[in-house]
Amino acid sequence: MINQKLVKGKKSSQNILVVISLLYATSGYSCINCNPEVGRAISTSFWNNPLLLLGFVVLAFVVTGLSIIALNKPDPYKKNSSLALHSPKTPLTAASMVLGIGIGGFIDGIVLHQILQWHEMLSNKIAPVTVITKNTNMFWDGIFHLFTLVVTIIGIWLLWKVLQRKYTSKFHRLLTGGMLLGWAIFNLLEGILNHHILKLHNVREFSTAQDWWNYGFLFFSVLLLLAGIMQVSRPIPSDDL
């Protein structure tokens, strides 16, 4: 009886030691701070794909341009003109487009990257089939979400500035239309650059019809673009300013 208890005690001690060693072993973690292999994989993924930030740069230029347009002073005498620089329609539309770019990015990241897991940022270059490759893609997905968060905050700030100004249309269809336009712009730029030119990932990575999904993504983006144009092109009501 005593020997059995000693054996059981030794096994329990051994199990505890194994668990502790796994918890404190550096290779047991997948964070970039505690696992050098993950950090090296992320660094290598950047140097092997130096243009992976090109989409962010292009979208940043678009957001900057739209922000300048949104803060431009409108002319109340050009009430129902097209989206000219000084049209009362333009500030709210431009600010909403920035917000649409940010929210469109979040929709892409949350739905396609995280919920459906159809693709990840570098899934065509680095297949997420191991812990290391999965975490490498997750890191770049995080950079992507950080970018969309910053753009969304800028869009909210622009809306706040625009809605306080005189001679600026507050017509609700400019908000919805601008957001649709922004979402379409995000999809088109991201799709053309990352899916077709740089080939960082496909819409549905593990599919035998990757091209169909990629072109379907662009087709959906064109529909968003047309819907947004229809919304913002409607005349402003007479009492809107």
For 14-57, the pLDDT digits (tens) are 666 544 544 444 445 567 777 889 999 999 999 999 999 999 99
* CA end-to-end distance (rounded Å), the chain: 91
Confidence band for 106, pLDDT divided at 50, 70 and 90: very high
User: How big is the chain by its Cα radius of gyration, in Å?
Assistant: 25
Three-state DSSP state, 71: coil
Q: How confident is the model at residue 240 (pLDDT cuts 50, 70, 90)?
A: low
Q: What is the mean pLDDT of residues 191-198?
A: 97
Instruction: Please say if the pLDDT value at position 96 is more than 80.
Output: yes
- Tens of pLDDT, residue by residue over 127-162, are 999 999 999 999 999 999 999 999 999 999 999 999
Output the pLDDT for position 26: 44
Residue 24 burial by Cβ neighbours in a 10 Å radius (0-12, 13-18, 19+): exposed
Q: How much is the pLDDT for 36?
A: 87
The model's confidence at residue 58, banded by pLDDT at 50, 70 and 90, is very high
What angle is formed at CA 34 by the lines to CA 32 and CA 37, rounded to 5 degrees? 60
Q: Tokens at residue 181, please?
A: 């336009």
Cα angle 104, 117, 97 (rounded to 5 degrees) comes to: 5
Contact 112, 195 (CB under 8 A): no
What digits encode the pLDDT tens for the residues 197-207?
999 999 999 99
Which ranges in the chain belong to alpha helices (H)? 2-24, 36-48, 54-70, 90-107, 131-162, 172-190, 210-232
Read off the DSSP letter of residue 155: H
Give the integer Cα–Cα distance in Å for 171 and 164.
14
Average pLDDT, the chain: 87
pTM value is 0.85
